[in-house]
Amino acid sequence: MTHQGQTTGQVRAVSSENASYPARAEVPVGKLCARFFHRDIRLAIRSTGQWLNPLLFFVIVVSLFPLGIGPGPNMLATIAPGVLWVSALLAMMLSLDTMFAHDYRDGTLEQMVVSGYPLSVIVIGKVLAHWVTSGLPLVLLSPLLGLMMQLPTDAYGVLILSLLLGTLSLSFIGAIGAALTVSISQSGVLLSLLVLPLTVPVLIFGSGAVSAVATGLEASAHVSLLAAIMALSVSLAPVAIAGAIRIGVAASR
């Protein structure tokens, strides 16, 4: 009887201790998203190559064009919007495969799936962290590279705005492909084949907006379409990403 009483008392103590912790479902959505956002930002800062490689690639590719075709200002100004946008797109592609790969290898991604938290909210925080470390540096550096490419000064504002909208869309669109291929080793080529066709509209409207302003035309239509693509990506992609992650984790069991 004494042993049974002690066991009952321990169970009650553990139950009362667990009752003091909030239920997982009660965690605010914004706090949950911010928690994973800050986590991935810290991990990216510790891994220098994760944010430095896309930035260096962007700089190197854009810098090669004046060396290859000559320093003629008219020619450089003509091709500058397309060069900047294609280089930014390819630089973003470099970091997509690492978005979920590290969490998948150490089992963290599977814990996210079975944790009971809304997975679509978690991936929003992770994708935003990817954009801050991979896309935002490209946006901040683009005016300097635009100056090197003889881009007219009137087009700098649209260049920054279009890259802000476009790179955010690319992060969410690319995350779908990264989630689909997370359980596949050496998935870089397959990821590119999945994602690149989906990014063509972003590339067309982004470079078109900068080209329009550079030639003295109105770019509001291009920017509006970019904003619409960004809104659709941010609102619809997290659901697709969460479903793809569940499929990838289930396939690896």
Eight-class DSSP state of 21 = S
Is residue 19 in some structural domain? no
Assign 105 to helix, strand or coil. Answer: helix
Task: Supply the mean pLDDT for the chain.
Answer: 85
From CA 91, how far away is CA 113, in angstroms rounded? Answer: 29
Is residue 4 in some structural domain? no
Span 117-137, pLDDT tens digits: 899 999 999 999 999 999 999
Is residue 16 scored above 90 in pLDDT? no
Span 154-189, pLDDT tens digits: 999 999 999 999 999 999 999 999 998 888 877 778
Specify which of 10-19, 28-37, 175-184, 202-211 reaches the highest per-range mean pLDDT.
Answer: 202-211
> Residue 55 belongs to what domain range?
28-251
Backbone angles phi, psi at 226, to 5 degrees: -65, -40
Is residue 1 scored above 50 in pLDDT? no
The percentage of residues in the chain with a pLDDT greater than 70, rounded to a whole number, is 89
From CA 204, how far away is CA 207, in angstroms rounded? Answer: 6
From CA 61, how far away is CA 59, in angstroms rounded? Answer: 6
Of residues 171 and 97, more confidently modeled: 171
Is residue 1 in some structural domain? no
Is residue 188 in some structural domain? yes
Is residue 17 in some structural domain? no
Is residue 18 in some structural domain? no
pLDDT score of 144: 94
Burial (Cβ within 10 Å: 0-12, 13-18, ≥19) of residue 152: middle
Is residue 145 in some structural domain? yes
Q: How many domains does the chain have?
A: 1
Q: What is the DSSP string of 38-88?
A: HHHHHHHHHSHHHHHHHHHHHHHHHHHHHHHH-S-HHHHHHHHHHHHHHHH
pLDDT score of 26: 65
Is residue 23 in some structural domain? no
